[in-house]
Chain A
Amino acid sequence: MINFFYFFSIAVSIIFFIIMLVLLYFMWIIYDRVETTKVNLHLRELKARGDLNAND
């Protein structure tokens, strides 16, 4: 049972790790959109919300 559990847990852990790497890559894309290429759009968003002085 221990041997089965050992290999099963390694497989599950690796799958989870790969999913996390994929999510990390997606996070980078969102970061890139929000922080760099879309900065001006976001400032317009803040302006539209009437909140250019928001502390976040």
Chain B
Amino acid sequence: MQTINQLLMIVTLMLIWLSLFISFVMLSGAIHFWFKNSHRIIETPALSRYPLITVVVPAHNEEIVIENTTRALLALNYPKDKVELLLYSDNSTDHTADRMRQAFADEQHAGRNYKIIERTGTGGKAGVLNDSLKIARGEFIAVYDADAMPEKNALYFLVQKALENPDRYMAVFGRNKTRNADQNYLTRFINQEIMVSQRIQHIAMWHMFKIGRIPGTNFIIQRDFVDSIGGWSDGALTEDTDISFKIMQSGKLIALAYNSEAFQQEPEHLKDYYFQRLRWAKGNYQVVLDNFKNLFNKSNWRVKFETFYFTSTFFIFNSAVILSDIIFLVNFGFMIWSWFDPNTQMPFTFTQGNTQISQVLVFNWLLMILLYMLQISIALASQFGQTTAKSVRIALASYFTYSQLFIIVSVHAVLQVLMDKIFKRNGTRWVKTKRFED
């Protein structure tokens, strides 16, 4: 029993080392990118051509945010006659469509090419996107969520990147920033997490491996390609990841236009956050399960790499964290019990040399905290005005609170995915993220 326990501890530590190694690779890639780009002057020269873009906005009960988003879309720095706006009020029971119309009421928007469609069909967001394919005239489809306010040049940068290599770049995606970052501690934590994922992970994946992943919003995709694969997967939790894999499988690329930015709203209450992340985590586990076979077949190397990355992040790393937490909690429980019964032995020990090994484990724990802080600090350092003493304190606080919450979300998501499989339940129920007034 003692040997099994010791092996379990060694395996856990090695899994954590593997995670550390992967993080170092990503950080190195991101640092190299920022070394090359943090001093560049960004200019917006005229493009060689301006393809017609169909901007699709799926909105389900979004009366709180849709007007501002529509106004931001109308203000995009892109020729007005080259933008076709398709705004879908999808099964809304509030005033979403009215708010959309209100945004167009201004005289300056007379003559804009737009349609406001009050949809009653099924399929959620994927259903809306598939419906839009039937009427869209654009060469590219741009997708913006109802809460995503693009910056003026967001679409320009996406198209600029797409035109760099139209034969290979089937889709181009930008970055998202938190619109309500300073609302409370939860949104501050989320803001830092988003910055790490956008300014470290996305950047590093594109810079080193030319791998991109279509996010839910602020991206364009070649219309012909979407037609060729039969549109979006209806009702899937992971329609964006699904289409990303299809692009990579065909040997094409999803390019990152890192200057294209849109502001999106993040949950302000813990409950809303929990269910949003639960849905995302379930989607990600689903992606791993659906694509695991790609590791062993003749798939494109980028698909294999992406599957490996997903697997290591969502299975290996999470398993390591959960195992080490269990080991810690069990030992801690036995330690408390030993105060009442001195004969109690802790189950996870190395007997001789126990003190030294404990020191190594504590040192590795400190390394993990340092790595966590380092990732956030590098992401913050790459953006003007973000590195402050307060943001560093928030990063440290989030390690002990916010990031630990994700363990609960992960376990919950794994259990739900397993239950869905065992009982053949439909686990793709969409839980709408709650919106807030700006």
Which A residues touch B350, using CB under 8 A? 2
User: B268: CB under 8 A from chain A?
Assistant: no
Contact status B387-A6, CB under 8 Å? no
- Alpha-carbon distance between A45 and B95 when the two chains are bound, in angstroms: 37
Within 8 A of B (CB), among A1-56: 2-3, 5-6, 9-10, 12-13, 16-17, 19-20, 23-24, 26-31, 33-35, 38-39, 41-46, 48-51, 54-56
- Alpha-carbon distance between A24 and B39 when the two chains are bound, in angstroms: 19
A9-B360, A33-B38, A55-B182 in contact; A20/B370 too (CB < 8 A)? yes
Which A residues touch B20, using CB under 8 A? 16
Contact status A48-B38, CB under 8 Å? no
User: B384: CB under 8 A from chain A?
Assistant: yes
Within 8 A of A (CB), among B339-367: 350, 352-353, 356-357, 360, 363-364, 367
Q: Return the contact of A26 from the options B35, B43, B261, B360 (Cβ within 8 A).
A: B35
**Shortest Cβ gap from B120 to chain A (Å):** 37
Top 3 A-B pairs ranked by shortest CB distance?
A50-B152, A31-B381, A42-B384
**Segment with Cβ contacts to A, from B24-32, B59-67, B247-255:** B24-32
- Alpha-carbon distance between A21 and B6 when the two chains are bound, in angstroms: 30
Contact status A30-B181, CB under 8 Å? no
User: B46: CB under 8 A from chain A?
Assistant: no
Query: What are 25 A-to-B residue pairs whose CB atoms are below 8 Å?
Result: A9-B13, A9-B360, A9-B364, A13-B363, A13-B364, A13-B367, A20-B367, A20-B371, A23-B28, A26-B31, A27-B378, A31-B387, A33-B38, A38-B39, A44-B42, A45-B40, A45-B41, A45-B259, A46-B384, A48-B41, A48-B42, A48-B153, A55-B179, A56-B191, A56-B386
A26-B31, A27-B378, A34-B381 in contact; A6/B177 too (CB < 8 A)? no
Within 8 A of A (CB), among B91-146: none
Which A residues touch B352, using CB under 8 A? 2
> What interface size band does chain B fall in?
35 or more
User: B374: CB under 8 A from chain A?
Assistant: yes
- Alpha-carbon distance between A9 and B13 when the two chains are bound, in angstroms: 9
- Closest partner residue, chain A, to B380 (CB atom): A31
Which A residues touch B44, using CB under 8 A? 48
- Closest partner residue, chain A, to B178 (CB atom): A56
- Alpha-carbon distance between A9 and B211 when the two chains are bound, in angstroms: 33
User: B17: CB under 8 A from chain A?
Assistant: yes
User: B34: CB under 8 A from chain A?
Assistant: yes
User: B276: CB under 8 A from chain A?
Assistant: no
User: B77: CB under 8 A from chain A?
Assistant: yes
Which B residues touch A39, using CB under 8 A? 384
Which A residues touch B35, using CB under 8 A? 26, 29-30
Q: Return the contact of B177 from the options A10, A12, A50, A54 (Cβ within 8 A).
A: A54
Q: Return the contact of B374 from the options A3, A23, A38 (Cβ within 8 A).
A: A23
Which A residues touch B77, using CB under 8 A? 50
Which A residues touch B364, using CB under 8 A? 9, 13
Which A residues touch B179, using CB under 8 A? 55
Which B residues touch A55, using CB under 8 A? 179, 181-182, 263
User: B326: CB under 8 A from chain A?
Assistant: no
Which B residues touch A35, using CB under 8 A? 381, 384-385, 387
- Alpha-carbon distance between A20 and B377 when the two chains are bound, in angstroms: 12
- Closest partner residue, chain B, to A28 (CB atom): B381
- Alpha-carbon distance between A31 and B177 when the two chains are bound, in angstroms: 19
User: B222: CB under 8 A from chain A?
Assistant: no
User: B383: CB under 8 A from chain A?
Assistant: yes
Within 8 A of A (CB), among B191-235: 191
Within 8 A of A (CB), among B372-412: 374, 377-378, 381-387
